[in-house]
């Protein structure tokens, strides 16, 4: 079991902890498939809802909050039945807008894993307005069921009445809907090819600034992030923040980063290069490779 879970595992009921420990292997990064979830439910003799709430300390152990020192865990359940953990991330000494909220982390985890819809969000503190707005961007976002400790579950619409969302700006394919933009770039660099794929899958209906970041660590592993815009603009999730959250979930240190690439569309109304460089230089003493690509 990874060291970061030693304290949180003690907060779980013993039967659940015993069943979960073998799953917290060195490669565990917060994903449990539907079969594993069923195994935990059966072994613990708890309902699925009880298991998911009980797992929140495990999700919170993925957090990296040097500013607030407030650990928040979240779990997104996909339509597939799989669950995806996420946690808050803060960049030391950097402006607060660079932070990643736990719900954003869990949702981006699911999106990067190929999920096309979130049906439940489980979180250990009531979602802030920023996260409510971010969730409202998702496929059938208003129907997502929000589960909190010691409270009744309600759909997002209960927490965000009279919401402003994609439809108000004539966007009919919301975040996580299957869509892809094709780009042209001749490269044999595997890292750039990976970034191209993720840029094509990014979500930028308001600026057309499709973008992705790929981080490479010293052992050759890569961690990606895609741009995810929001109808309210500010809750948009930058690809660098998504990539850093991805890296931290995999129990890697910022000091492991050896290369960073930002790929973005030449046709976008904005550029993410400045914000991306700010975030990168806060955590790693390397230069950002910036590649601008043309849509096909």
Is 89 annotated for ligand binding?
A: yes
> According to the annotation, is 31 in a ligand binding site?
no
Told to judge if 94 belongs to the known catalytic residues of this protein, a careful annotator would answer no
131 is in an annotated binding site: yes
Is residue 185 a known part of a binding site?
A: no
Q: Are 260 and 281 in contact (CB under 8 A)?
A: no
Q: Using CB atoms within 10 Å of the CB of residue 267, give its burial: 0 to 12 exposed, 13 to 18 middle, 19+ buried.
A: middle
In angstroms, the CA 48 to CA 35 distance is 12
Tokens of 69: 């020192």
128 carries a ligand binding annotation: yes
Positive/negative CA dihedral, 171, 176, 180, 181: positive
Is residue 101 marked as binding? Answer: yes
* Given the residues 50, 69, 94, 103, the one annotated as active site: 103
Q: 72: closest CA among 123, 140, 19?
A: 123
User: Quick check: helix, strand or coil at residue 34?
Assistant: helix
Exposure class string for 10-30: b at 16+ Cβ within 10 A, else e: eebeeebbebbeeebeeebbb
Give 18-22 contacts, CB < 8 A, sequence gap 24+.
18/43, 19/43, 19/44, 20/55, 20/58
Q: So which residues are the catalytic ones? A: 103
Q: Which residues are annotated as a binding site?
A: 88-90, 101, 128, 131
């Amino acid at each position: 079991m990874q060291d970061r879970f030693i304290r949180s595992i003690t907060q779980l009921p013993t039967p659940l902890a015993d069943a979960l420990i073998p799953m917290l292997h060195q490669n565990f990064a917060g994903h449990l498939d539907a079969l594993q979830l069923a195994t935990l439910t059966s072994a613990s003799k708890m309902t699925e809802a009880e298991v998911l709430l009980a797992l929140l300390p495990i999700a919170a152990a993925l957090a990296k909050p040097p500013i607030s020192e407030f650990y928040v865990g979240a779990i997104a359940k996909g339509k597939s039945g799989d669950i995806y953990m996420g946690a808050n991330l803060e960049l030391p000494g950097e402006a607060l807008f660079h932070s990643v909220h736990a719900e954003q982390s869990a949702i981006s985890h699911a999106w990067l894993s190929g999920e096309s819809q979130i049906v439940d969000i489980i979180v250990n503190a009531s979602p802030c307005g920023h996260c409510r707005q971010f969730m409202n961007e998702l496929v059938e976002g208003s129907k997502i069921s929000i589960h909190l400790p010691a409270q009744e579950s309600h759909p997002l619409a209960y927490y965000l009445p009279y919401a402003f969302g994609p439809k108000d700006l004539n966007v009919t394919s919301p975040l996580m809907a299957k869509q892809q933009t094709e780009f042209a770039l001749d490269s044999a660099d595997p890292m750039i090819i990976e970034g191209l794929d993720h840029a094509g899958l990014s979500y930028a209906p308001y600026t057309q600034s499709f973008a992705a970041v790929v981080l490479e660590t010293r052992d050759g592993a890569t961690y990606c992030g895609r741009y995810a815009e929001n109808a309210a603009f500010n809750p948009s999730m930058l690809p660098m923040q998504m990539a850093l959250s991805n890296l931290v979930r995999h129990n890697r240190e910022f000091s492991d980063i050896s290369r960073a690439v930002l790929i973005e569309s030449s046709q976008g109304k904005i550029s993410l290069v400045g914000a991306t460089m700010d975030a990168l230089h806060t955590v790693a003493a390397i230069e950002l490779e910036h590649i601008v690509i043309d849509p096909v």
